[in-house]
Amino acid sequence: MAATHDYDLIVIGAGSGGVRLSRMSAGRGAKVAVIENRYLGGTCVNVGCVPKKLFVYSAHAMHEMEDAAGYGWKVPLEQVRFDWPTLVANKNSEIERLNGIYRRILEGPGVTVIEGSATFVDANTLKVGDQTITADKICIATGSWPMIPEIPGHDLILSSNEMFYLPQLPGKAVVWGGGYIAVEFAGILAGLGVDTTLIYRGDLFLRGFDEDVRRFTADEIAKKGVKLKFGVTLHSVAHSDSGYLLHLSDGTTMETGLVMAATGRRAMTDGLGIESVGVKVTATGHIEADSQFRTSVPSIYAIGDVIGTPQLTPVALAQGMALSRNLFGDGQGSVDYANIPTAVFCQPNIGTVGLTEDVARADGHRLKIFRSEFKPMKHTLSGRDERSMMKIIVDADTDRVLGVHMVGPDAGEIIQGMAVAVKMGATKADFDATVGIHPTSAEEFVTMREAVSEDQWQ
């Protein structure tokens, strides 16, 4: 291969999708280079799911110490002190370790790692610094980047990227947004002792999730100390004696020590020069790509967040595997976007797979709804006022399980197993015939027998 070009494939971006595509293609005998201008591992490893999960673990620690009293442990909570710089330093060490692993993952099968920013010269040529390189095929896997609305004082607002490197925690913080990133960071800050308020323009956060999940989660995270202000948005930010003065859309003001925006992410195509080679973009600014990840230019492909598919690491990984198979394998690679499970690492966690109740009904299904709310066994002795909720959405005519949703401890871990069943087309009878593991929360999914509601045809 690579007879007329320097490489068979050049991948721009060494995030989850780019790394998977690069190393699998090299393993199939292709000559591959990957270009990265920031950090190996992309958003997930460096300023996304990995460090966020580590912060979530830390935010849980104080609750664990408080809960220990009910189990006979005498923990002198007045002597407990949290040190934010220690957490950040330990997190940084872990990320550096992972960066090294990613480099070895790439270099092992012979991928050339080029550090720098790439710009298109033509459909087969890129310029990186003073270097010009060519490839038979080029894949854009540059991911996404946080967006902060340009309100007055927007330069004083932090994104999720900066939150991972704060020198110190403030006493008070405001998180602006209603998606999973906003909800997760509000829980992290509150769990670490910060007086935290989440503001969101809608009447309820987590749009797109099941309505029961949204309402139940709002109640539970409020118990954990997150102050929720719905139906309001941020108009401006300015310096004040105590930090920052916020003017809100309802005419009120707030004083805080930190403002974080989690108000959306945009496709990261800055400086690539895709317009000069004719790569089309959608109305949302994402690169236009078909189901085989082909752009409007025959030699250029794109995968991951940059094409506007679900912004999840496993989705980018699946796309990288599919494209490598298409380009250098048997040509049969594809990605099925139905029934993708996901989790929100708020406190308690959310785990979900399949259709929400509203979407299932809008799709024409007649539904049976099974739902259970209960206090997790752990809190019978801890005394904590925390409850879990589980919900199964069933097609009343076929008995097929259309969606499974949970709010509670380890919801993500539990829903991963449920996702296999949903993907295979399991019925409610299959759930009912499965023996539970006792005593666990997860067994509730196979012991719910009575529907809380059933649609009737009009």
Establish whether the linkage from the previous residue to 439 is cis, with ω within 30° of 0: yes
* Helices and strands per DSSP (H, E), number in the chain: 12, 22
CATH of 342-452, one of 3.30.390.30, 3.30.360.10, 3.30.70.240, 3.40.50.300: 3.30.390.30
Q: How far apart are CA 368 and CA 191, in angstroms?
A: 37
Q: Annotated catalytic residue: which of 154, 247, 365, 438?
A: 438
CA distances from 171 to 168, 193, 196 (A): 10, 8, 9
**pLDDT given for residue 456 in this prediction:** 86
* Residue limits of CATH 3.30.390.30 in the chain: 342-452
**Is 379 assigned a catalytic role?**
no
pTM for the structure as a whole: 0.95
**What does the pLDDT read at residue 413?**
97
Does 3.50.50.60 match the CATH number of domain 7-145+266-328?
A: yes
Which whole number is the average pLDDT over 113-119? 97
Pairing relationship of beta strands 7-12 and 32-36 according to DSSP bridges: parallel
**What values do phi and psi take at 131, rounded to 5?**
-100, 135
Q: Distance between CA atoms of 280 and 140, rounded to whole angstroms? A: 13
Phi-psi region of 19 (alpha: psi -120 to 50; beta: other; left: phi over 0): alpha
Question: Measured between alpha carbons, how far is residue 416 from residues 48, 241, 440 in Å?
Answer: 20, 47, 16
pLDDT of residue 228: 98
Label residues 285-324 b or e (16+ Cβ within 10 Å = b).
ebbebeeebbbebebbbbbbbbbbbebbbebbbbbbbbbb
Query: What tokens does 4 get?
Result: 């007329």
- CATH 3.30.920.30 corresponds to the domain 154-263: no
- What value, to the nearest 5°, has the Cα angle with vertex 186 and ends 74 and 256? 100
Burial state string for 258-281 with b = 16 or more CB within 10 A and e = fewer than 16: bbbbbbebebbbeebbbeebebeb
Beta strands in 182-330 (DSSP E): 195-200, 227-230, 234-240, 243-248, 253-256, 259-261, 265-267, 300-302
pLDDT given at position 1: 57
- Residue 457: HSE in the Cβ half-sphere, 13 Å Cα cutoff: 5
Q: Where is 128: in which H helix or E strand? A: strand 125-128
Task: Kindly tell me if the per-residue pLDDT of 448 is higher than 70.
Answer: yes
Residues 226 and 141: beta-carbon distance below 8 Å: no
Judged by DSSP in three states, 337 sits in coil
Residue closest to 9 by CA, chosen among 140, 190, 104, 103: 140
Predicted confidence (pLDDT) per residue in 232-257, tens digit: 999 999 999 989 999 999 999 999 99
Q: How far apart are CA 137 and CA 360, in angstroms?
A: 40
Across the chain, mean pLDDT equals 96
User: Quick one: which of 58, 183, 153, 40 has its CA closest to 100?
Assistant: 40
Question: Is 405's pLDDT higher than 60?
Answer: yes
What is the per-residue pLDDT for 242? 87
**Helix, strand or coil, per DSSP, at residue 224:** coil
Q: Work out the pLDDT band at 258, boundaries 50, 70, 90.
A: very high
User: Which residue has 């401006």 as its token pair?
Assistant: 236
The values of phi and psi at residue 328, to 5°, are -130, 5
Exposure on the CB side of residue 341, measured as CA atoms within 13 A:
20
The dihedral region occupied by 116, where left means phi > 0, alpha psi between -120 and 50, and beta the remainder, is: left
139, 32 contact by CB (below 8 A): no
The band of 458, judged by pLDDT with boundaries at 50, 70 and 90, is low
pLDDT tens digit sequence for 76-106: 999 999 999 999 999 999 999 999 999 999 9
At 19, which amino acid appears? V
Mean pLDDT, to the nearest integer, of 34-47?
Answer: 95
Give the tokens for residue 46. 């460096």
CA–centroid distance for 165 within its chain? 19
Q: Could you tell me where in the chain the CATH 3.50.50.60 domains are found?
A: 7-145+266-328, 154-263
Q: What pLDDT is stored for residue 2 in this prediction? A: 56
Q: How many other CB atoms are found less than 10 A from the CB of residue 222?
A: 13
